Structure formats: structure tokens, C-alpha cells
């Protein structure tokens, strides 16, 4: 049986090596499991300490996806087996701990990390992608945070990321799961470079022919120069988010979630097919997730990344015992009836008072936050 993550140390021109990690679950679009998070985190730590490794590449196998998200089947099994409270779900505790630590590790990595975001980059895949120092997309990239469709919220640091986009854009992405291509990712600063998907192998050969050194700063600059020289001659045409930016900001950059929801729903009868699709996803999605996502984005604006991840950890565990996550996965992947019975069933019922339960730490009061060691010295408000 092939391992879920493949690791290679490719020889570069001057004796140094490039560490290449390949997510190797193409049958699930490289869905991220606990084992994959543990393996990748451990190897990244080894490579960071290894003076012979100049830089790291993270890619996905199969050609269709970098990573389509977390392993929802394993998450569902964990919720089914849990007969206690949020802290009693051992799988969820371990998975979110390992995944969020891995995401944070990538953000703070001492060496260049190139993440090849060709194909699907969604959910947990965004968590890996967004922290890389060199984020590369292609004409096949489909980038989204579609958690509203399964009763979750944009986690893996997604609340921190989305809260820092132009006003209304993060709320739009969280509430609609809208898919972005390369042009929109580049325009929003969600990606740094673009390469043609069929040029990846040739780019790797050029990369291995470069004179890498032991100096991380110089390697950052060399990798940047190589990526800039390899980009398509013509910039991609503006994407649908760029084309609809003024309308998205008009509707979604506000303080009244009910009004935002009504504005998105109105797109279902409008002329733009991309906005129609966004409205359809919102209307079919979990109203509780919409409220939860909106609240988290408001709270994340003033948090550090570590603080946002700590809060997401609490909320993710709570989603395993209340809210719509179990029902959303059942309807999408288990029974596949695509008829989730959301509770609450309307946005009006998903009130500010209702959502507060998700922010209560589920562990004993005498215990420190499991992620308290991230960014040591952070404000207690985080």
C-alpha cells in the first residue's frame, strides 16, 4: 500500500537538496487525514534543521487536486463513536491539534516553501497553501472555503485570512463557498505566482539546476526570480470576483447578517451565473454555519494567527457535538441524499445568542488551551 505522503530529497546542481512532499491520496483528491498531518509535520521539522535542504515543495498527486480538504469520513466516524461531550471526541482533538499546528508551522517556516496549488485547493488544502512563502496557482486552480455546505466554518486559519480581505469579500467567500481561479487568487493576494499546469515538470527541472545555498534569504530571492521568469507571457483575464467586486462589497460589507443573507439570496434571480451559483450554495447551506462564520470573521480581525487558530480549535470541537457538521457530512458523503436537515433551519433562528455556545472551551477549567504554546507570549485576549 502506497504511503499517504511521499517524501523525496532531490539533488540540486551544487550538492544541496530540495525536499519534495507529495500528498498521495488522489482517490480522495488528497483529502487530509490525521496520519498525513503527522507525517508532513514531522518531515518538515527534519528538513528545517537539515543544512543540506535548501527549500521545500509541497504538491498533490493525481493531477486533479492539491488538496480538497480534510478527511470527512474519518471525522464522521469520530462523531459517531463519541457518546460524550466535545472534549470526549479523541479523533477530533488529535486531528485539529495536528492540522492546526502543521498550518502554523508552514506560516513560520525558516526556509522557502513552494506550494503547487494546481487543481482543487479547498478547505484543509487552503490551510496548507496559504502559509507557504511561494504560493503558485495554475489555469486549473479552484480555490474555495466551502464549509457552509457541510455545517462547518472556514477553519485552518481561514477566519484569520478571510477577515483580512477587502471589506465584504471574506464574508462572501465564507457564506457562498464561491470558487476562485488563478486571476482572482492573484488579485486578492491569496496566491503569488502563476504557472501553466503542463509546465510544472519543466519548471522543476529548472529549479533543480539552480545554485541554491545555505542562506534562506538568498534562496527566497532566487526562487522568486525563477517563478517570475516562468510565468505565462500574458496575464490571466480578470476573474468573476474581480468583475463583481463592487456588487459583492455592496451586499456583504455590512453589520447585519440578515441583510447580507437577503442580498446574497437575491442573486439567485440575477443575470450573473457565477453569483447565481454562489447564491444557490448559500441558500442550500447551513444557516448555523453562516452565523458562526460571520461571527468568527468579526472576532478574528484583531487576532494574531495563533489566536485565531486557538479560537477555531474550540469551535471545531464544539461543532462535533452541536450544530450541523455531522448532518452535513451525512447528507453529502454518507447517505448522499443531499438533503440535510439543518438545525437551526433559518438564518433568523441562528441568532447571536444561539452562536455563543460554540465559543465555550470544552476541556476542564483547570487545563490550559491545548494550543497555548503557539506564539508564546501572545496576548491573553487571543
DSSP one-letter code for 244: T
DSSP one-letter code for 235: P
For residue 10, give the CATH number of its domain. Answer: 3.90.226.10
The answer to the question of residue 377 being in a domain is no
Contact 175, 282 (CB under 8 A): yes
DSSP one-letter code for 164: T
Return all residues near 46 (Cβ < 8 A) that are at least 6 apart: none
The answer to the question of residue 365 being in a domain is no
Q: If you search the block for the grid coordinates 496557482, which residue do you land on?
A: 137
pLDDT number for residue 159: 98
Distance CA 197, CA 189 (A): 20
pTM for the whole thing? 0.96
- Number of domains into which the chain is organized: 1
pLDDT number for residue 271: 95
The per-residue pLDDT string of the chain (382 residues; one tens digit each, 9 = 90 and over) reads 799 999 999 999 888 999 999 999 999 999 999 999 999 999 999 999 999 999 999 999 999 999 999 999 999 999 999 999 999 999 999 999 999 999 999 999 999 999 999 999 999 999 999 999 999 999 999 999 999 999 999 999 999 999 999 999 999 999 999 999 999 999 999 999 999 999 999 999 999 999 999 999 999 999 999 999 999 988 899 999 999 999 999 999 999 999 999 999 999 999 999 999 999 999 999 999 999 999 999 999 999 999 999 999 999 999 999 889 999 999 999 999 999 999 999 999 999 999 999 999 999 999 999 999 998 644 334 5
pLDDT number for residue 29: 97
**Please, what sign has the CA dihedral across residues 314, 34, 26, 104?**
positive
pLDDT number for residue 378: 41
The answer to the question of residue 128 being in a domain is yes
Give the CA distances from residue 186 to residues 92, 192, 287, in Å, rounded to whole numbers and listed in that order.
33, 6, 30
The answer to the question of residue 371 being in a domain is no
The answer to the question of residue 369 being in a domain is no
The answer to the question of residue 372 being in a domain is no
State the cell numbers at 316.
471545531
Give the CA distances from residue 380 to residues 87, 305, 376, in Å, rounded to whole numbers and listed in that order.
22, 14, 10
pLDDT number for residue 380: 39
The answer to the question of residue 25 being in a domain is yes
Distance CA 40, CA 28 (A): 18
Contact 13, 209 (CB under 8 A): yes
Work out the angle at residue 87's Cα, subtended by the Cα atoms of residues 81 and 93, and round it to the nearest 5 degrees. Answer: 80
Q: Which domain, by its residues, includes 280?
A: 5-359
The answer to the question of residue 378 being in a domain is no
Amino acid at each position: 500500500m502506497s504511503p499517504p505522503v511521499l517524501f523525496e530529497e532531490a539533488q540540486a546542481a551544487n550538492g544541496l537538496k530540495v525536499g519534495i512532499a507529495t500528498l498521495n491520496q488522489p482517490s480522495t483528491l488528497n483529502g487530509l487525514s490525521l496520519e498525513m498531518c503527522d507525517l508532513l509535520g514531522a518531515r518538515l521539522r527534519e528538513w528545517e534543521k537539515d543544512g543540506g535542504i535548501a527549500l521545500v515543495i509541497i504538491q498533490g498527486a493525481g493531477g486533479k487536486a492539491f488538496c480538497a480538504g480534510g478527511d470527512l469520513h474519518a471525522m464522521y466516524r469520530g462523531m459517531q463513536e463519541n457518546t460524550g461531550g466535545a472534549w470526549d471526541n479523541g479523533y477530533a482533538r488529535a486531528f485539529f491539534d495536528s492540522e492546526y499546528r502543521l498550518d502554523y508551522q508552514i506560516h513560520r517556516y525558516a526556509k522557502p516553501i513552494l506550494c503547487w496549488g494546481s487543481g482543487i485547493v479547498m478547505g484543509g488544502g487552503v490551510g496548507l497553501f496559504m502559509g507557504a512563502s511561494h504560493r503558485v496557482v495554475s489555469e486549473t486552480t479552484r480555490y474555495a472555503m466551502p464549509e457552509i455546505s457541510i455545517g462547518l466554518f472556514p477553519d485552518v486559519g481561514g477566519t484569520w485570512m478571510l477577515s483580512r480581505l477587502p471589506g465584504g469579500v471574506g464574508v462572501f467567500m465564507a457564506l457562498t463557498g464561491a470558487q476562485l481561479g488563478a486571476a482572482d487568487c492573484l488579485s486578492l493576494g491569496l496566491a503569488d505566482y502563476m504557472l501553466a499546469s503542463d509546465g510544472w515538470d519543466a519548471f522543476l527541472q529548472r529549479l533543480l539546476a539552480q545554485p541554491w545555498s545555505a542562506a534562506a534569504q538568498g534562496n527566497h530571492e532566487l526562487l522568486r526570480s525563477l517563478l517570475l521568469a516562468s510565468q505565462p507571457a500574458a496575464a490571466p483575464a480578470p476573474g468573476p470576483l474581480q468583475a463583481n467586486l463592487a456588487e459583492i462589497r455592496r451586499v456583504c460589507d455590512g453589520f447585519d447578517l440578515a441583510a447580507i443573507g437577503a442580498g446574497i439570496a437575491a442573486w439567485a434571480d440575477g443575470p450573473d451565473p457565477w453569483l447565481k451559483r454562489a447564491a444557490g450554495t448559500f441558500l442550500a447551506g447551513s444557516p448555523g454555519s453562516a452565523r458562526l462564520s460571520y461571527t468568527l470573521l468579526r472576532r478574528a480581525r484583531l487576532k494574531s494567527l495563533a489566536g485565531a487558530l486557538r479560537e477555531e480549535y474550540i469551535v471545531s470541537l464544539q461543532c462535533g457535538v452541536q450544530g450541523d457538521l455531522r448532518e452535513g457530512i451525512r447528507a453529502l458523503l454518507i447517505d448522499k441524499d443531499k438533503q440535510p436537515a439543518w438545525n437551526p433551519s433559518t438564518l433568523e433562528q441562528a441568532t447571536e445568542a444561539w452562536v455563543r455556545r460554540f465559543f465555550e472551551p470544552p476541556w476542564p477549567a483547570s487545563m490550559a488551551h491545548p494550543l497555548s504554546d503557539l506564539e508564546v507570549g501572545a496576548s491573553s485576549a487571543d
